[in-house]
Amino acid sequence: MKTDIIVSLENVTKKFKDGDGEFTALKNINLQFGKGEFAGLVGPSGSGKTTLLNIIGSLDSPTEGNAFVMEKNIAGLSHKASALLRNKHIGFIFQVYNLLPVYTVFENVEFALLLQDYNTSERKKMVMEALEWVGLQNMPDKKPAKLSGGEGQRVAIARAMVKRPEILIADEPTANLDANNAHVILQMMKKLNKELDTTFLFSTHDEKVMEYLERIVHLEDGKVVKDEIRTKVVAS
């Protein structure tokens, strides 16, 4: 495990209202992730993988405990501060890509930069570079509806990576892809992980993803049951 800690979870508990009662999705989670890690949260449905990723991504906050991301405690962040954290430091990749349908490939990738202070030529350069990373530099004007599943997810990767975030959160990124596309996507991610030293955090129960993960945190019923460092993984 790397020593440069950028995510630190201390006794993180998350409870949701469930009718008149409460449902505890995460129970006293203590975890740390370092810079440049390629790690995954693995477990059956309802184990708390996505909830934990949402907290790390500052889309949600813990009910109890502290979640430090880039030295900011998610538990005490205002909407504005958490938006700024996501804007500057965190990229997201979703299962169904979540591309903005009326924008072209270029505009989808550019969107993340529009929220920051880049001028037009800087944005263009960065977007084209990101599209080159994922091999889509020849189709910047295509609309998402015209893309295949694999291409769509590659655009999502470019969008998440274009601002060069420290953390990239990928929630079941290969669930909608066939095996071949899944491997292409994972190799791409692994390559970016090495080249840009970005921390990749996955939520998955896909065996193909697990082959690439250098660290697997097993969750069950909202608890960490195993934290495994792996040495034999598929290289980029």
Partner 1 sequence: MILAFQLAYRNLMGAGLRTWLNAAVLSFAFVVILFFNGLLDGWNQQAKRDNIEWEYGKGQLIHTDYDPFDPFSVQDGHGILPTSAKENLVPILIRQASVYPEGRMLSISLKGIEVPQEILGLPTDLLENSKADIPTIIGKRMATSANLKVNDELLLRWRDKNGTFDAKNVTIVGIFDSNVPTIDNGQFWIPIKKLWEMTGMEGHATMFISEADQPVDVPGWNFRSQEDLLRELSEIIEMKKASSSIMYILLLAIALLAIFDTQVLSIFRRQKEIGTYISLGMTRQQVVGLFTVEGGMYSIFAMVLGCAYGIPLLLYLSATGIGIPEASQNMGVSLADRIYPVYGIVLILGTIALVVISATIVSYLPARKIAKMDPVNAIKGKLQ
What sign does the CA torsion over 107, 143, 53, 173 have?
negative
- Check residue 114 for interaction with partner 1 (CB under 8 A): yes
Beta strands in 19-96 (DSSP E): 21-34, 38-42, 64-69, 72-73, 90-93
Site for partner 1 in 81-110 (CB under 8 A): 83-84, 86-88, 92, 94, 96, 98, 100-103, 107
Least spacing, CB of residue 204 vs partner 1, in Å: 17
Least spacing, CB of residue 98 vs partner 1, in Å: 4
Phi/psi-derived region of residue 211, left when phi > 0, alpha when psi is between -120 and 50, beta in every other case = alpha
Least spacing, CB of residue 235 vs partner 1, in Å: 30
The residue range among 62-70, 78-86, 197-205, 209-217 that interacts with partner 1, by the rule CB under 8 A, is: 78-86
Least spacing, CB of residue 152 vs partner 1, in Å: 13
Phi/psi-derived region of residue 207, left when phi > 0, alpha when psi is between -120 and 50, beta in every other case = alpha
Instruction: Judge whether 97 and 156 are in contact, CB under 8 Å.
Output: yes
Closest CA to 205 of 47, 15, 12, 78: 47
- Check residue 112 for interaction with partner 1 (CB under 8 A): yes
- Check residue 172 for interaction with partner 1 (CB under 8 A): no
- Tokens 């350069």 sit on residue: 125
- Check residue 22 for interaction with partner 1 (CB under 8 A): no
Residues forming the site for partner 1 (CB under 8 A): 54, 57, 59-60, 79-80, 83-84, 86-88, 92, 94, 96, 98, 100-103, 107, 111-112, 114-115, 159
